[in-house]
A and B are shown apart, each in its own frame.
Chain A
Amino acid sequence: MPPMSPRLEPGILRIAYKLLVNDRPKFVALLVGITFAVFLMIEMTSLFAGILLRSSSTVINIGSSIWVMDPAVQTVANTIPLPNYVLDEVRSIPGVKYAVPLYSGSALLKLRDGTYQAANVVGLDDTSLVGSPQMVSGNIQDIFAENAFIAVEDSEFYKLGNPHIGTEFELNDHRGRIVALARVASSSLFGVPTLYTTYYRALQYIPNTRFTISYVLVEPKTAADVNTIKARVAADGYLALTRDEFMSKISRFYMYQTGIGTNMLLMTLISFIVGLSISGQTFYTFILENIDRFGALKAIGAKSHELVSMILFQATFVALTGYGFGVGLCALIIWLARAHLPDYAAIITFPNLGLAFAMVVVIAASSSYFGVRRVLVIEPFDIFRG
C-alpha cells in the first residue's frame, strides 16, 4: 500500500493511517467486509434495476409520449383490449396531435426446422408506423410486403434460429417472412423474441377477442396538453399515462405485486447487516486494541477532537476503499456475466451506487460512533498508572 500524499496531510492523520494499514489482518478483514457488503448490495439492486428496465422494454422501445389503456392494466405485457371507439374519442380530444392503435400480443411460430417458438408480435399502425424500431438491414417500408415481419436483433434473436432477410416461418398456419432486421433500445424480460408487423396483419394472423387495440399511442400538441388529455381519457373510464408514469407503474407492480421486489429488498438488507456487523465489529475491536495508545496520546496532549478525527479518518478511509473495491468487483462480475449470458439483466444505476454509498456511510458512521465514544472516556491516568 503506497503512502498517500505524505506532504500535505497533517501528521496526526498520517499516524492514524499507519495504525490502520499496518495492522494487516484487521485492515484486510475490514476491507473484505465492506467490499462484500457493497458488492452484494450493488449486485442485488442492479439486477433489480435491470429487471425493472426490461419489464418496461415495450414502453421504451415504442417510445410513445402517452399511452392510453384500460385502468386494470398492470404490466405492458398483460394487455386488456380496448374497443375501437376509444381511439376515436382520443382523436377528438383537443390537444392531441395524433393518436394511433398499437397491437401487442403473443403468437406461436413454427420455425423452418420444425420447432415451435413463442414470440411477441407488435403491430404498428399501418398509416403512420408510429413506434417503428431502428433498422439494421432492410427497409421499414418492406413491412407492407406480403407476409412481412421484421425481426429484432435483441438477446432473444437466436431463438428464431438467427434468421436473415428472406427467412420464412409459420405463424398460426399463416406464412411469415422476415423482410428486415431491427434493433431496439431494451431487450424484454420475458425471454421471447419480438417480431414487428403492421397492425392489420397482426389482427389477421393472430386470433383475437372482440376488441383488438392493445394501446392507443398519443402524441400531444404541446406538453401543456398532457393534463387535459389525461383528464378527458379518465372521464371516459380509461387511463392515459405518460411514458415515465407507465414505466413506474410497471416497476411498482414488479416491486410490490411479485416476490422479486421483497426478495431483493431482503437481500439488500441482509448485505447491509452483514457488512455492518463484520466491519463494525472489526473496527470496534481495532479501536479497543489500540485504546491504551489512544490514552497515551491523550496523556501526552492530544485533544479529544484530534482523537476523533483520527478515528473518523480511519473509518472513512476503510469505507471508501471498500466501496471502491465493491463497485469495481460488481462492475467486473456484471461484465463477465453479460459476456457469457446474453439474457443477464443488470444495470448499475446512480441510485444503486448512491444507495450503496449511503450504506457505507452508515457503516462507517456507526462503527466510528462506538469507537469515538470509547476513546472519549479514556482516563489518561489509567494509562499513566499502567
Chain B
Amino acid sequence: MAVRAIEAVGINKWFGESEPRTHAVKDVNFEANFGEIVYVVGPSGSGKTTMLSMISGILRPNSGTVKIEGTEIWNMSADALADFRLHKIGFVFQDYHLFPRLTTAENVAIPLVLQRRDWDESLAEARRDLEVVGLRDRAQLPPVKLSGGEQQRVAIARAIISRPDIMIFDEPTASLDGETGRNIVQFVREHLLSDKRCIVIVTHDSRIYEFADRILRMEDGRMTGVERSQLNAQ
C-alpha cells in the first residue's frame, strides 16, 4: 500500500488542568491521501481546528499517533518538527496573522525567507503568487491597507508559496465573497493539487464543496462520518 499523506490514529485532546476539562477531540482517526482534497466540516466548537493542529505538527495530542508521509511527527524534537513544518506544510490560519510592518509581498515571502532562500528571489515568487490570488497591484502595500478578503488571499498566497506537499487551510474562504472563494479553491484544485500533494480544508462554505474529493464531518470532538465522497472526479 502506498504511504499516506496523513494518518492519525486515536488522537485525543483535552484542555484544562483540572475538571471540568474540555475534551475537544475524542479518539479521532483521520487519513488523507496524496492527490486528494479532504474537507472537514462541522459546527463551530466541534474540534476542527484542534484536530487540524494535531495532524499538522502544531499541537501535541494527549494520546494517539500522527504520521505524515510515513514519519511519526510527534516523536521529533521541536526543531526537527519546525523544520518539517517549514518544508512540508503550508498553513492558512483562521486569523491571518500578517505582519503589519511588512509589505504584502514580504509577508507572502516569509516561508521562503525562513527556508533561507535568496531575498529577491523570494519576493519575486511572492509577487507571482499574489498575482495568482488576484492581488498583484497590492504587493507593495502594508496588509492593513487591504480588506479582510484581500488579507485572507494574502494568507493563502503565503501558504502556497513554497509549494508544500501538504496544505492545511482553516476556513480559507470565510471572509471571501462566493465568486472569489470559488476561484481560489478552483485554482488550488487545478494548479496546486497533484498526485504528490494533499490538501486538507476546514470550512463551513458549501459553495466550495464541489472541489472536494471527500468531506468528513466532525461533531462534538468526534469524527462522525463521511458527508460526501466522490472518486477523484477530474
Which one of B1-9, B83-91, B185-193 is at the interface?
B83-91
Q: Render B56-70 as a binary contact track against A, CB cut-off 8 A, 1 for contact.
A: 001100000000000
Do B113 and A384 touch across chains, with their CB atoms under 8 A apart? Answer: no
Q: Which of A10, A302, A385 contacts B53 (CB 8 A)?
A: A385
- Chain A 16-36, CB-CB to B under 8 Å as 1, else 0, gives 001100110000000000000
Determine the chain B residues whose CB is within 8 A of the CB of A300 once the complex forms: 85-86, 91, 110-111, 114, 158
Across-interface contacts of B122 in A (CB, < 8 A)? 11
Minimal beta-carbon separation of A205 from chain B (angstroms): 75
* CB <8 Å contact, A384 and B58: yes
Mark the stretch among B25-33, B93-101, B221-229 that contacts chain A.
Answer: B93-101
CB distance from B18 to the nearest CB of A (A): 19
Neighbour of A385 across the interface among B94, B101, B111, CB < 8 A: B94
- Do residues B93 and A383 form an inter-chain contact, with CB atoms below 8 A? yes
Is the CB of B79 closer than 8 A to any CB of chain A? yes
The smallest C-beta distance from B48 to any residue of chain A, in angstroms, reads 10
Which single member of B84, B85, B87, B101 contacts A19 (CB below 8 Å)?
B101
Q: Is B116 part of the binding interface, using a Cβ–Cβ cutoff of 8 Å? A: yes
Chain B residues near A278: list those with CB within 8 A. Answer: none
User: Does the CB pair A301–B58 fall under 8 Å?
Assistant: no
Would you list which residues of chain B between 14 and 57 have a CB under 8 Å from chain A? 49-50, 52-53
How far, in whole Å, are A385 and B117 apart by their CA atoms in the complex?
Answer: 28
Q: Which residue of A lies closest to B103 (CB)?
A: A18
Does A297 interact with chain B (Cβ within 8 Å)? yes
**Residues of the A chain whose Cβ atoms lie less than 8 Å from the Cβ of B84:** 301
Q: Is A381 a contact of B119 with CB atoms below 8 Å?
A: no
Indicate if A88 sits at the interface (CB-CB under 8 A): no
A10 to B117 CA separation, bound complex (whole angstroms): 9
B52 contacts which chain A residues (CB < 8 A)? 384
With A and B bound together, what is the CA distance between A189 and B84 in angstroms? 69
Partner of A15, one of B78, B79, B102, B116: B102
- A292 adjacent to B102 (CB under 8 Å): no
0/1 interface trace, chain A 367-386, chain B, CB 8 Å (1 if under): 00000000000011101111
> Are B114 and A22 in contact (CB-based, < 8 A)?
no
A194 to chain B, nearest CB (A): 61
Pair A296/B116 contact, Cβ less than 8 Å = no
A306 to B85 alpha-carbon distance, docked (Å): 15
For the complex, give the distance between the alpha carbons of A380 and B84 in Å. Answer: 15
Taking the closest CB of chain B, its distance from the CB of A149, in whole angstroms, is 70
> With A18-B102, A301-B111, A303-B83 as given contacts, are A384 and B116 in contact (CB-CB < 8 Å)?
no
Which listed residue, B95, B116, B170, touches A11 by the CB 8 Å rule?
B116
Q: Mark B176-214, 1 if CB is under 8 A from A, else 0.
A: 000000000000000000000000000000000000000
- Residues A1-58 near B (CB distance < 8 A): 6, 10-12, 14-15, 18-19, 22-23
B106 beta carbon closer than 8 Å to chain A: yes
Flag if A301 contacts B99 (CB, 8 Å): no
**A384→B95 CA distance, assembly (Å):** 7
Instruction: Give every chain A residue within 8 A of B102 (Cβ-Cβ).
Output: 15, 18-19, 22
Nearest CB of A to B162, in Å? 9
* A379 cross-chain contacts in B, Cβ below 8 A: 59
Q: A295 and B82 in contact (CB under 8 A), knowing A11-B119, A14-B119?
A: no
Q: Is the CB of A304 within 8 A of B119?
A: no
Cβ contacts under 8 Å, A306 to chain B: 114
- CB A317 to nearest CB in B, in angstroms, measures 15
Hey, which bits of chain B sit against chain A, CB under 8 A?
Answer: 49-50, 52-53, 58-59, 78-79, 82-87, 89, 91, 93-95, 97-99, 101-102, 106, 110-111, 113-114, 116-117, 119, 122, 158, 170
Can you list 26 pairs linking A and B with CB atoms under 8 Å apart? A11-B113, A11-B116, A12-B114, A14-B119, A15-B110, A19-B99, A292-B97, A293-B97, A296-B97, A298-B82, A299-B91, A300-B86, A301-B83, A301-B87, A301-B89, A301-B111, A302-B114, A380-B58, A383-B97, A384-B52, A384-B59, A384-B94, A385-B53, A385-B94, A386-B93, A386-B95
> Which 8 A-B pairs have CB atoms at the shortest separation, nearest pair first?
A301-B86, A11-B113, A296-B97, A386-B95, A22-B101, A386-B94, A381-B59, A301-B85
